[in-house]
Chain A
C-alpha cells in the first residue's frame, strides 16, 4: 500500500526550528547593515529559539491529539520524490513507535532552550555558556532539534541518514565551543565515535539498497532499488540473500547497523564517549543528549533492524540481551564509584538504557512496550537529573559529590526535587520509571529467566548509589562553605516542575503513552515472536 501525502504537519514540526536557524543567520549577516547591538542580537536569537522550539512543541501536541492509536499504519504522511536519480524520496510519517519520540523531542528541546536562558544568573557571571556567542548557540540548538525531529519522522533510509548526520555537527560545536575545560577532547571523541558509527550505517544502507527488489516511487515511476524503509521491510526478504564477505548477508548488514546504533545507545563497550561528552557539555546540551540523542540508537534498531532484518535480529537476540544486562549491572557498579555528580548521572543513563535492550530482545509485547516506554521515561527523568546537576554547578562551580554536605537545610526545595527525580530514576513504584523498568523485566523474564534475575540486581545497586549520593550531598551537617546558596529560581522551577509532574502522573496513569504505542509495537514484534515460537 503506497502512502500518499495526507498532511504536512510533520514537515512543519521538523523545519520550524530550521526557520529559526535561517532567521538567526540572516540577522547575523545583516548585523552591520541594521546596526544591531550584540545585546539586542543575543536577545533576539534567544526569543527566536524560544518561539521556534515552542511552536514545534505545540505542533507536537496537535500531532498527539490527531493521532489515531488504533491505526498501526503510518499517519501524517508527507511523501514526495526527492532525488529521482537515486530513488531517494522525501518521506515523513509517524506511527506508534515514533510518535512518543517526536513528542519527547519537542518537549525536551523546549526545556533545553529555556534552560539556556541566563534568567536568574548573577550579572557578574559573564563566562556562563548562556552568555557566550548566543546567536550561534541558539542556531546550533535549533539545528540539532531539526536533525533529531527529522530522524524520528523520516521513513526513507537516505533521508534518515541525512538527518542523522545533521545532528552530529551542532552537537560537536555545542560541546566543543560552549563546553567545560576538556571540551575539545570530549567533542572530538564524540564526533569520531559517532562518525565511525555513521560510516557503518552508510555501508549497511547501501548494501540494503542494492539488495532490494525493484518497486515504484511514490509518483509511480519504476525504480530498481529503494531506500523506502516501509518497502524495505514489507517487499523484501533479505533472509534469503546470499553471502557478503563470507558471512550471510543479513547477519553482516545487521551487525554493521547494530554497532552504528549501539554507539548511540550507548551500549557497552561503546559507551565511553558518553561520560566525557556529558561532563563537558553545558547543562541544556546534556539535557538534549540524555533526553533525546540516546534514544536514537534504540529507535534505529526498532525502526530498521527489527522490521527489515528480522531473521538476523532473532539470531542475535541472546547477544542483545546479554549486552543489555551488562549495561544495567556493570554501569550501575561504575556509578557507585563516581565522584563527579554529572558523570554518575551519565553512567546511570548507560545503566537505564540497558533495560531497553533487554526488553526489546525478548520479543514479548511487555518487553517491547517496556523498551519504548523506558526510552520515554528516561527521556523525562534524565533531563531532570542533568538540570539538577546544572543548578548546583551554577551555584557552587563544581560537582564533586564529596564536596557538599547538609544541603537539605540550605536548599529544601531543591533537595525535594532531587529526591523525587532520584526516586523516579531508581524505579520507585508510583513514579514513571518503575512502570517501564517493570515492563521490560516482566517482558524479558519468560525468555531470559536468569539474565533477568541478574538485571534485577541492578535495581538494588541503583538504589544504593542514588541514596549514597543523597546522603553525601544533602544530609549530615551543612558544609559552611555553602551556607548562602540560594534555592531554586523561577527559570529552574519552570524547567523542573513540568518534568516532575510528568514523572508522577505517568507513574499512576501511564496508559496515555502506552496506548499510543502498544498496537504498533505488537505488530512490529509479532513476526519475531512467531519465529522464536512465543
Chain B
C-alpha cells in the first residue's frame, strides 16, 4: 500500500538530532561560541524537515489516489498477534499536518531566536523545542497507533518541560506537572480504547470468555478495511466501536483541552510565549482533533461517540468563550480562545465533517500562532507585563505587531476575508445540516454560533485594550517595536492566515468542492455516507449571513466598550453584577472544585494507603514477631520457674557450653567463612557416608 522509497523517517529524526546535539553539548557550545551556534542547529534542522515534508508531499501527489508514501524501518514489537512496525506513512491528512507543523514550527523557531535572546537556558530551550518537533512529527507521520502514542506522550513530555522551562519559579513547575498529569488521565482513555480496538478487531468476547476469530492490525493503512468486522461486537454490553470512540475521545480531550480535562491549558501559559504559540495553540493541542479525524472510519460507525464528541466540543467552545470575555491577562484570553477554537474543531470532526474540522485546525495554526507571537512581542515590549489593563495605545509604537494582530483578529472573529471564517462557517453549516447524531444538528450549531459571537467580542476587546488609547511608559521610555526576527515571522503568519482561505473557499461560492476537501477526501472516504438533514442553499446562505452578523455584533460591542479605552461602561457593568463577574473571572471555580474533590481525595487515599501499609500490613508482621517472642517468653518462664529444679543442672551445663560456643560468634567474617567451609565438608562427608550405608 504505497511507496517505500522516500526516507520519511528523516522528517522527525532530524529535529531529534538537533535536540540531542543541543541537549548534550549545548551548554558548552553556548559558552564557547555563543547563541548563534545553538540557534543555527536548532533552527536549520526543522527547516530541512519542512523541505523534506514538501518533497514527500510532491511524491504523494504523484501516487494514485488512496495510496500513501511509506517508510518502513524495522519490526518494533512482535509478540503473537501483536505486531507493530517502526514505520512512517504520509497520506494527505498527515501530509497536511506535517507541512503545517514543520512550517509554523520552523517559523516559531526563528521567532524564538529573538524572544529567547540572552536567556541562560537558550540551549535548553532549543533542545526542548526540537524534541517537541520530533515528537509531534512522529505523532502525525506514525503509520500505526502504537507509534502514534510515542509521539502522543512525547509531545506531552515536551510540553511539561517547556511549561516549566523557567523552573526556578515553582508555579511554572507546578503548571507543567498539572499539564502532564491531566494529559496522562487522557492517555488512560487512549490506552483502554487502544486495547479494546486491538482485541475486538480479531476476536470477540462472549459468555465463555474471549475468542480469536480473525486477523489483527494496528496499521492505519489496513484498519479502515478491517473496521467493519468490529461493528457487531460488544464488550460490557456496549458496542465496541462506541466504547473505543469514547475512550479515544477521553484521550483527545486530555490532549486537546476539552471539558472536563481542559484545566491544564490556561496554566500552561506559564511557559515562554513561543511555546504557547507552537505547542499550546498551533500543534500539540490539535493532536486530539487529528486523532479523531485519523480514526474517522471508526467514528462513522458509532453515532453515540460522534454525538459525545460534537456535544463536548460545542459546550467547551461556548464555555471557554465566556471565560475568555472576562480575562485581563492577554495570554489567558488567547488560552481560553484556544480551548474554545478546539471545541469548534471537535464540533467539525464530531458531526462527520472531518475535512472541515482539520481545515479549521490548519487555519487556526496560522492565526492563533500569529496572535500568540504578537502577544509575545507586546509582552517583550512591556517588559514581561501581561495585564491588558496596564497596556493600551501600543498600536502607534508597534505598527507591525498591531496590524498583524488585527489581521489575525479578523481571521479568528470570522469575517469573510480571512481563513477563520471559511473553516468555522463550514463547521457550523455542517453541524446544522447533519443528521448522523443522536441529537438534532441545530444544538451544536447554536452553541457554536453563540460562541462565535463571543469570540469576536473578546478578541476585539483584547485588540482595543492593547493597541488603542493612550500609550503607557514602561521603565521610563516608550515601548518599542521588536527585532525583524520577531516581526518578520508575524508578517508571514498573518499572510498565511489570509492565504489559507483559498484552500477552503466554500462550495456555495465556487460550485466545486474546496481544494482542501478534495485533497483530504481519500482519507475521509468513510464519512461520505453519513446522513444529512438535506437543507438547501438558501439555508446555507442564511446561516452564513447570520455568522457574519454575529461576528459584526461582537466587534461592535467591543468597539463601543473598549475602543480608545475611554468608556467607563465596562467598569460600571461589572460593578452592577459583581458576583457573576467574580464567578466567570475565576473560571467558574473549576480548578478550586477539582482541588477540593479529586486532588484532595486522591492525596487522602494515598495517605490512607500509606497508613494502612505501615500500621496494618506491616503491623501484622511486627505483631507476629511480638507474639512469637511473647510465646517464647512464656515458654522460658515455664522452663525457669516450674521445671526449674529438674532442669537446673542441665541448664547450668548448657550455659557453660554456651559460654564457650559464644566465642565462635566473633562477628568476624573469616570465622564465619571458615564455618561455612567446614560445614560444607561435613555435609559432603555425611552424604558420602549415608549413601554408602543406604545406597
Contact = CB atoms under 8 A, between A and B. Distances in A.
Interface string A486-510: 0000000000000000000000111
A139 B691 contact: no
Contact of A337 (B76, B174, B606): B606
A269 B153 contact: no
A383 to B, nearest CB: 23
Interface in A417-451: 423, 428-430, 435, 438-439, 441-443, 445-447, 449-450
B33 interface: no
Interface stretch (A100-108, A251-259, A300-308, A461-469): A461-469
B79 A441 contact: no
Contacts of B77: 435, 439, 510-511, 514
Interface in B161-205: 164, 167-170, 173-174, 177, 180-181, 184-185, 187-188, 191-192, 195-196, 198-199, 203, 205
A423 B82 contact: no
A459 B164 contact: no
17 contacts: A29-B670, A84-B695, A135-B669, A268-B617, A336-B602, A336-B603, A337-B610, A338-B610, A365-B80, A365-B82, A369-B80, A429-B154, A438-B191, A445-B196, A449-B236, A509-B86, A511-B76
A456 B191 contact: yes
Contact of A365 (B79, B188, B209, B695): B79
A476 B168 contact: yes
A460 B173 contact: no
B146 A438 contact: yes
Contact of B177 (A337, A457, A471): A471
Interface string B280-298: 0000000000000000000
A514 B78 contact: yes
A135 B602 CA distance: 48
A366 interface: yes
Contacts of B208: 533
Contacts of A338: 610
B568 interface: no
B621 A189 contact: yes
A508 B154 CA distance: 13
A369 to B, nearest CB: 4
A453 B170 contact: no
B650 interface: no
A526 B580 CA distance: 65
Contacts of A457: 188
B609 A333 contact: yes
B472 to A, nearest CB: 31
Contacts of A527: none
Nearest to B692: A85
Contact of B157 (A25, A423, A459, A522): A423
B577 interface: no
A87 B150 CA distance: 53
Interface string A250-275: 00000000000000000011011100
Interface string A394-409: 0000000000001011
Interface in B71-113: 74-82, 86
B138 to A, nearest CB: 9
A471 B174 contact: yes
B287 to A, nearest CB: 14
B605 A333 contact: yes
A139 B672 CA distance: 12
B670 A442 contact: no
Nearest to A336: B606
Nearest to A467: B177
A441 B191 contact: yes
Given A83-B691, A447-B209, A534-B209, A477 B168 contact: yes
A431 to B, nearest CB: 10
B170 A476 contact: yes
A439 B81 CA distance: 12
* Most-contacted residue by chain B among A457, A463, A508 (CB, 10 A): A463
B473 interface: no
Please list the 3 inter-chain residue pairs (A to B) with the smallest Cβ-Cβ separation, ordered nearest first: A365-B80, A336-B606, A337-B610
Contacts of A189: 621
B180 A467 contact: yes
Contact of B210 (A334, A447, A453): A447
Contact of A509 (B76, B153, B185): B76
A441 B78 CA distance: 15
Contacts of A226: none
Contacts of A453: 192
A272 B613 contact: yes
B609 A28 contact: no
Given A272-B613, A273-B621, A366-B82, 8 more contacts: A84-B691, A272-B617, A365-B82, A457-B188, A461-B606, A476-B170, A522-B80, A533-B211
Contacts of B184: 459-460, 463-464
Nearest to A518: B79
Contacts of A452: 195
A121 interface: no
Interface string B46-85: 0000000000000000000000000000111111111000
A135 to B, nearest CB: 7
Interface residues on B, range: 35 or more
Interface in A282-339: 330, 333-338
Interface string B656-680: 0000000000000110011001000
Given A406-B168, A428-B153, A366 B188 contact: no
A445 B202 CA distance: 14
A456 B192 contact: yes
B509 interface: no
Contacts of A470: 177
Contacts of B81: 365-366
Interface of A: 21, 25, 28-29, 83-85, 133, 135-136, 139-140, 173, 189, 192-193, 268-269, 271-273, 330, 333-338, 364-366, 369-370, 406, 408-409, 412, 416, 423, 428-430, 435, 438-439, 441-443, 445-447, 449-450, 452-453, 456-457, 459-461, 463-464, 467-468, 470-471, 474-478, 508-511, 514, 518, 522, 532-534
A446 to B, nearest CB: 4
Contacts of B211: 533-534
A268 B609 CA distance: 12
B168 A449 contact: no
A139 B673 contact: yes
Contact of A139 (B74, B82, B625, B669): B669
* Most-contacted residue by chain A among B86, B177, B606, B677 (CB, 10 A): B606
A464 B235 CA distance: 30
Interface string B604-617: 01110110010001
Contact of A429 (B80, B152, B602): B152
B199 A446 contact: yes
B160 interface: yes
A25 B146 CA distance: 53
B595 interface: no
A446 B673 contact: no
Nearest to A444: B195
B579 to A, nearest CB: 35
A511 B690 contact: no
B164 A475 contact: yes
B205 A449 contact: yes
A423 B152 CA distance: 14
Contacts of B209: 447, 532-534
A446 B86 CA distance: 25
Nearest to B171: A476
B119 to A, nearest CB: 14
A324 B589 CA distance: 38
Nearest to A437: B191
Contacts of B690: 85
A83 to B, nearest CB: 5
B478 interface: no
* Most-contacted residue by chain A among B23, B188, B690 (CB, 10 A): B188
B75 A511 contact: yes
Contacts of A268: 617
